[in-house]
Every structure is written in structure tokens, then in C-alpha cells.
Chain A
Amino acid sequence: MIAAKNVSLQYPDGTVALKNINLSVKPGELVYITGPSGSGKTSLLKLLMAMEFPTTGTLEIMGRSYGKGQTGPIRQLRRMLGPVFQDFKLIKGRTALENIMLGMRFLDIPASEMKKNATEALARVGLKKKANTPVENLSWGECQRISIARVLARKPLLILADEPTGNLDRENALNILELLVGCKDEQTAVLITTHATHLIPANQNRIIRLKEGVMEEAEA
């Protein structure tokens, strides 16, 4: 699903965000990427979302590599992804249900199934009652849940969650992590970046540590 070989990323201002990253993720895997702020976690997710492209090395996502300007293939890739953003990226002025459905409107999901998927996803994150609430009236934690529900409804092959527990209290953060872990199945891999290592449940199968753009350790 993800195959990175000696991938480095340098931004135009000269900042080196990632150095010689080697990473392989298979379908059904759950991977935590940890490290302090500025260690390159978000940069790695940006590479995986084709928002940035490797300066050196090769990166294959879902069996192919992507380059700048390949608008069509990049959009196709993104339709298979389930991104959970730090700032949620929910559309203001729209309800929770509308936001979830918006993530599906351009996928090959029949119109009749869209609402069903969205309602089920809302129920799964425990916010069925908030379906018709505009997102600006929801709390931080509820917004994070809605952004996860948007991912769940899309039924993606790869979930990429960028600091999903940031700014949440311990209880809410654990709930969010539990939700994301629950998204993993035989087909779907989940990558979660977090600096809050103390929240990672024990006996997780993969934790990758990044420090100053270098992959320090990878444990199976």
C-alpha cells in the first residue's frame, strides 16, 4: 500500500523535513508515527496525500508514484484516502451531515447510499443527534468526531490522521484514538501521527519514531 525507499523532502526555503525515509505499510496495518513537534510527521503525511513530492528517493502509494502536475491521478489517489486533519477542514455554514455527505458526493457511491453511509458514520462516532447542527456550533471534540465520520463514510483504503488528539482532554483523545483504531480492517490501513505517546494503547503492532526528519526506530 505504501512503499517509501530513501525518501527525502526538502522545502523550497531549504528546510529539510525528511531524510532517507524507508517505510512499508500493508493493507490492514495500524501504524503510529510519533515524534516531537517539527520532527516531520505532518510532512510525511503530506507526501502520502500527494500534497508534497519527494525530493529524492521513490514513494509508491497504492502501487504507483506521483509527481507535481499529475492532477488527475492525484485526485484519484485522494479519493481512496481518508484524511483526518489537525484543523478538521470542515465546511462552515453546513451541518454535520452535509459535511459528511460532501466528502462522498464525487465518489462512485450511489445517491441512495450516501445518506445511509453518512448517518451510520454519525452513529458510529456517537453524534447522530447532531446531524443537523451547523459545524460551527459543535465543540472541538465533536468537530474531530465529525471529521472522522466523514472519513468512515467514504470507506477509504488508507486513513491518514494528523495529530487527531491535539487539543483534546485525555478522555476525548482516547475515544478518538479508539475510533480510528476501529476503522482498521483487512483492506484499510490506518496511519496516525501523534506526539502524545502516552495515549498510545499498549501492545500496538507498529510505532514509528521520527526525530528531525529521520526515522529513528520502527518496531514491529
Chain B
Amino acid sequence: MKQLLHNLGYFFHEAGIIIRMNLLSHLTSFFSMALIFLILAMVLAGWWAGNYVIAAIKNEAEISAYYAEDMSRDAVLRLAEELQKIAGVKEVLLVSAEDAYKRMEEMLGKEARVLTYFDDNPFSPILEIKIDLAAMEQVLQSVQQTDGIEYVRDNREVLDRLRQLAGAVRFLGYLIITAVGISTLVIISHLIRTGIENNREQINTLLLLGAPDSFIAFPFLLTGLLLSAGGGILAAVLAGYALRYLFARVGEPLPFLPLPPLGGLVLKLAVFIILLSALLGLAGSLSGLHTAKSRS
């Protein structure tokens, strides 16, 4: 370990020489890896953001109950009291057509001007019922059977569709992680083998001088690690910019979409991609060293 620390500068210097000796090939591999890590980062971001949206919608477990618009306010209040008594109902709020309009105005922000195209308020008054998600089915049935309720809308359909979408993205994620893993291992392993072949003379000299295998192998290990982790870092930076752009494009027209905090998502993604790329670089280097040794 002490020897490793003493020679750290030398190992980095040697890794630099190994890269420069076959610069074009190393650069091409570096950018290829950055590209595949970027694709992985974007799929992962979609997967994680999808999960966040599902969780957020689940937490907003509520149903909207529509009643006859000609009902008197007293009758509506009595209806609300009745609904409040149903097991699994946490809170019942009376949302007037004006309140619904205001809410939509707030949600749409700059885009709220679309509402001005309507001559009349397009929203109906509703009873907004916050419920316990576990009791969704029973509450729905009870609310639907309550006198005075004309129609009940819940977010199960939206949740199901989101779940399907998230499942597809997750499947794509697993597929891409596997593809990224295999391609990185193959690229790095090949580069290390080529590097060893190009440096065969130097390796033989070191062997004759008594250098241990670990000393000879470390610069090659470092080369693989630097190329792969470097590709990972570049991918993480590019993914950060791409996500910032995408969030701005999606978040502005769809302000009601509960997107995860951008900073947290990018940080989580960067840590994951950099660690994964370093790990794959290390594994690829070890595989390259192993095959080069067994061939010699």
C-alpha cells in the first residue's frame, strides 16, 4: 500500500503515456463510452422521474364527486357531512366553480390565458374527497351510492397508465444497463489487452528487474478506470444540462405535473453513473489483464 502511494504519480504518468501511445483509439473509446453512459443516464432519469410522479399522485389520493348544479348550498353542505361519515374518508372540501377556475389559473401560470377563450366558466362545482388510499374501492362504492352524487372521478386510470409507462421505462433501463455493462467491459478489456501488447517490451524489462505483477498491472488498471470513469463524468455533466433543458420544456407547459426536484435528481444520477462507470472500468481492466496474462 505504501509502495502504491509512493508510486501514485508514476502510475498516473504511465497511464497518460499508455493513452497517448494509442490516442485516437482511446479517444474514440472514451467518447463512445460517454455516449452510452449518457443514454443510460437519460433512461434512468425517466425511470426515476416516473416513479416520483406515481408516488406523488398516489399521495394525492383523492376523488372528485360531482353533484347536481341546482342543489342548494345547504343541501350540498349536508351531502358533504354525509360523505364525511364514510369510513376511509379523511376530508371533504367544497370546491365551487369559481375556486376550480382559480386553481387552474394558478396551475397554468403563464399559460392561463387559454382560459380566456371560454365565454363561461368551464368548471363545475365539486366535492373534493381526500381518502385513505387503501380504502379506495370501498369509499368509491359508498360515494357513488350516496344520494345527490351524479358522477365520481378518481385517478386510478391515470395511475395505471403511469405504472405501465414506468414499467416499460424500467424494462428499458434494465436492458440498457446490461448493454452498457457488456459494451463497456468489452471496450475496456480490448483497450487494456492492446495496451499490454504495445508495451510488451517494457513489461518484460520490468519482469527481469523483479517488478511484482501488481506494479506492472496498476498503470493499465488505472488507464481503464480513467477512460471509463471519465466517460461517466462527461455523461453525467451532459445529462445534467439535458435534464435542465427538458425540465424547462416539460415543466412550463405542464406545471401541474409533479416533477422531482432537478438538483436532487441530477446529483443522484451523477453519483450512480460515475460509480457504475468506475466499477465497469475496473472490471474491464481486470478482465483485459487476466486474458492478456493467460495468453502470454
Among candidates A85, A89, A90, A106, residue contacting B210 with C-beta atoms closer than 8 Å: A106
Q: Is B215 an interface residue when CB atoms closer than 8 A count as contact?
A: yes
Among candidates B204, B205, B210, B212, residue contacting A77 with C-beta atoms closer than 8 Å: B210
Among candidates A49, A81, A106, A111, residue contacting B211 with C-beta atoms closer than 8 Å: A106
Q: In the complex, which residues 56-76 of chain A have their Cβ closer than 8 Å to any Cβ of chain B?
A: 71, 75-76
Find out whether the CB atom of B210 lies under 8 angstroms from the CB atom of A105.
no
Among candidates B3, B6, B209, residue contacting A83 with C-beta atoms closer than 8 Å: B209
Q: How many A-B residue pairs have CB under 8 A?
A: 49
Interface size class of A (residues with CB under 8 A): 20 to 34
Q: Is A199 an interface residue when CB atoms closer than 8 A count as contact?
A: no
- B41, chain A: closest CB distance, angstroms: 37
Q: In the complex, which residues 69-104 of chain B have their Cβ closer than 8 Å to any Cβ of chain A?
A: none
Find out whether the CB atom of B209 lies under 8 angstroms from the CB atom of A78.
yes
Q: Is B10 an interface residue when CB atoms closer than 8 A count as contact?
A: yes
Q: Which residues of chain A are within 8 angstroms of B134 by Cβ–Cβ distance?
A: none
Known A-B contacts A91-B205, A105-B215; the reply to A76 vs B17 at CB < 8 A is: no
- State A101–B10 Cα separation when bound (angstroms): 10
- Nearest to A104 among chain B residues (CB) is B209
- State A91–B205 Cα separation when bound (angstroms): 8
Known A-B contacts A91-B202, A105-B215, A106-B215; the reply to A51 vs B7 at CB < 8 A is: no
- Nearest to B7 among chain A residues (CB) is A105
Known A-B contacts A105-B10, A106-B3, A111-B6; the reply to A75 vs B205 at CB < 8 A is: no
Find out whether the CB atom of B205 lies under 8 angstroms from the CB atom of A78.
no
Q: Which residues of chain A are within 8 angstroms of B204 by Cβ–Cβ distance?
A: 89
Q: In the complex, which residues 171-210 of chain B have their Cβ closer than 8 Å to any Cβ of chain A?
A: 201-202, 204-210
Q: Which residues of chain A are within 8 angstroms of B206 by Cβ–Cβ distance?
A: 102
Known A-B contacts A105-B7, A105-B10, A106-B3; the reply to A89 vs B208 at CB < 8 A is: yes
- State A102–B14 Cα separation when bound (angstroms): 11
Q: Is A103 an interface residue when CB atoms closer than 8 A count as contact?
A: yes
Q: Which residues of chain B are within 8 angstroms of A105 by Cβ–Cβ distance?
A: 3, 6-7, 10, 211, 215
Q: Can you list, as one digit per residue, whether each of B3-27 has a CB less than 8 Å from chain A (1) or not (0)?
A: 1001100100000010000000000
Q: Which residues of chain B are within 8 angstroms of A91 by Cβ–Cβ distance?
A: 202, 205
Q: Is A79 an interface residue when CB atoms closer than 8 A count as contact?
A: yes
Q: Is A93 an interface residue when CB atoms closer than 8 A count as contact?
A: yes
- State A75–B209 Cα separation when bound (angstroms): 8
Chain B at the A interface: SS class: helix
- State A102–B207 Cα separation when bound (angstroms): 12
Residue picked from B6, B207, B209, B213, most chain A C-beta under 10 Å: B209
Find out whether the CB atom of B212 lies under 8 angstroms from the CB atom of A106.
yes
Known A-B contacts A89-B205, A91-B202; the reply to A75 vs B6 at CB < 8 A is: no
Known A-B contacts A105-B10, A106-B215; the reply to A49 vs B208 at CB < 8 A is: yes
- B296, chain A: closest CB distance, angstroms: 13
- State A120–B215 Cα separation when bound (angstroms): 25
- B128, chain A: closest CB distance, angstroms: 72
Q: Can you list, as one digit per residue, whether each of B25-36 has a CB less than 8 Å from chain A (1) or not (0)?
A: 000000000000
- State A85–B234 Cα separation when bound (angstroms): 45
Among candidates B7, B202, B210, B213, residue contacting A79 with C-beta atoms closer than 8 Å: B210
- State A77–B209 Cα separation when bound (angstroms): 9
- B222, chain A: closest CB distance, angstroms: 15
- B2, chain A: closest CB distance, angstroms: 9
Find out whether the CB atom of A51 lies under 8 angstroms from the CB atom of B215.
no
Q: In the complex, which residues 207-227 of chain B have their Cβ closer than 8 Å to any Cβ of chain A?
A: 207-213, 215
Known A-B contacts A93-B17, A105-B7, A106-B3; the reply to A81 vs B210 at CB < 8 A is: yes
- State A49–B205 Cα separation when bound (angstroms): 12
- State A79–B215 Cα separation when bound (angstroms): 13
- State A51–B208 Cα separation when bound (angstroms): 8
Q: Which residues of chain B are within 8 angstroms of A106 by Cβ–Cβ distance?
A: 3, 7, 209-212, 215
- State A55–B17 Cα separation when bound (angstroms): 41
Q: Which residues of chain A are within 8 angstroms of B201 by Cβ–Cβ distance?
A: 89
- Nearest to B5 among chain A residues (CB) is A111
- A46, chain B: closest CB distance, angstroms: 10
A-B contact pairs, 8 of them (CB 8 A): A71-B213, A83-B208, A89-B205, A89-B208, A101-B10, A105-B7, A105-B211, A105-B215
5 smallest CB-CB distances across A and B, nearest first, come from A78-B210, A79-B210, A111-B6, A89-B205, A106-B215
- A51-B208, A83-B209, A93-B17 known; 19 other A-B pairs, CB under 8 Å? A75-B212, A78-B210, A81-B210, A89-B205, A89-B208, A90-B205, A102-B10, A102-B206, A102-B209, A105-B6, A105-B215, A106-B3, A106-B7, A106-B209, A106-B210, A106-B211, A106-B212, A107-B210, A154-B209
